[in-house]
Amino acid sequence: MLQPIMLQSITLHRLAMPLVRPFETSFGRQTVRVVLLVHVRSVDGAEGWAECVAGESPRYSSEYLDGCEHVLRHHLAPALLGAQLVTADNMHSVLGFVVGHRMAKAALEAAVLDAQLRASDRSFVDYLGGTMQQPGPLAAWVDCGVSVGISPDLDTLLAEVSVYVQAGYRRIKLKIKPGWDLEPVAAVRELLGPDTLLQVDANTAYGLADLDHLRELDAFGLVLIEQPFVEEDIAAHVLLSRHIQTPVCLDESIVSGAVATDALARGATSVINVKPGRVGGYHESVLIHDLCRAQGVPVWCGGMLETGIGRAANVALAALPGFTLPGDTSASDRYFAQDLVEEPFVLGSGEHRGQLRVPTGPGTGVSVRADLVRALAVATPLELKR
């Protein structure tokens, strides 16, 4: 158990991070990642940083940046600042009066945890490994996959995929939607050959009328198809799982360990994407990891275009033994020309080609670049005090 801390202040920073190339999914196209950072300070001087993974608009999720900032400012942060002592282990009981808002809660949890761990000179990966119900070896390096957005044409897609293959990424994920699926997947499979890990992500773009069409993806030897139907429709995913050979993976549907348990029991999924922001934090992420590992269900760490601040914590999570598939934990330069941390994430070489080193320094193990936080700000920082 970590030593509780008393918070002195919680500061919210809003930044605009230009992407090195546009990123398009079935629900939109991004050229800039607008980021909400959470910076906490304790009365004893401990500091922690985290980022909220919500998007600018409520298209991926019902949560979005303005809503997260509002609930943090008016509800969640005041509750934590009003508490005598807080710890990441039990802060969800303090915040339980707010229904939902998992992404906002996850950002606060991660920031408090970062501060506590730095004060205790412990790393994220050491702490997360110690909270597992089924202890196992922690990885020093994690396999890296990369997510490839919808391209304007096949030539552009193949050129981008070729760059990632040359960089050493161990798995390619293609975003798909109706009208952009079988042809691009076939072209990329031909480029990669039969042995490279390839999977697809639909981001809820399909419906039950597409069952036979989605079965045609079986021809390409995919690792999985991710979230083809709307998140609330677990029953449709059960039907799909019975209809195709390609493993079905749930992403947006999995908002808690309870939902994961239900989806697995019903046969809706045989692989789970764990995103800490989506499930409410790293404690819930470890719970999902544990229940999947107990059933022999592979999990992998999803991505939300995080900067190095959020990426550091995700890489630590991906070091747990149940994360047996490469995650969306790409190197910093996949998305940003400059990252917000002094230690940007770089793909390894030699035997660690296509892997990222797990940070082992105190907290998340990375140092925030205050100069970039100031330079990329699109709003005046909002400081909330005890």
As a whole number of angstroms, the distance between CA 295 and CA 293 comes to 5
Q: Are strands 7-25 and 248-250 parallel, antiparallel or unpaired?
A: unpaired
What separation in angstroms does the CA of 52 have from each of 14, 115, 272? 10, 16, 21
Extract the tokens encoding 260: 């994961």
SS3 158: helix
Contacts of residue 20, defined as CB under 8 A and 6 or more positions apart, other chains included, come to 333, 334, 335, 336, 337
Count other C-beta atoms under 10 Å from residue 55's C-beta: 21
Catalytic residue among 105, 173, 275, 385: 275
Radius of gyration of the chain (CA): 20
β-bridge partners, 178: none
Q: Among the options 105, 173, 175, 177, which is catalytic?
A: 175
Cβ–Cβ under 8 Å, residues 63 and 255? no
* Residue in 192, 189, 190, 184 with CA at minimum distance from that of residue 155: 184
Helices (H), the chain: 65-71, 77-82, 91-95, 102-120, 124-130, 154-167, 182-192, 211-215, 234-243, 257-265, 276-279, 282-294, 308-318, 370-375
175 is catalytic: yes
Q: How many CA atoms lie within 13 A of 135 on its CB side?
A: 4
From its phi and psi, is residue 135 left (phi > 0), alpha (psi between -120 and 50) or beta? beta
Cα–Cα distance between 182 and 289 in angstroms, integer?
32
Grouping H, G, I as helix, E, B as strand and the rest as coil, residue 256 is coil
Hey, what are 67's tokens? 């809503």
Look at the block and give the residue holding tokens 């975003």.
Answer: 175
User: C-alpha dihedral over 64, 100, 324, 335, to 10 degrees?
Assistant: 10
Residues assigned a catalytic role:
175, 275
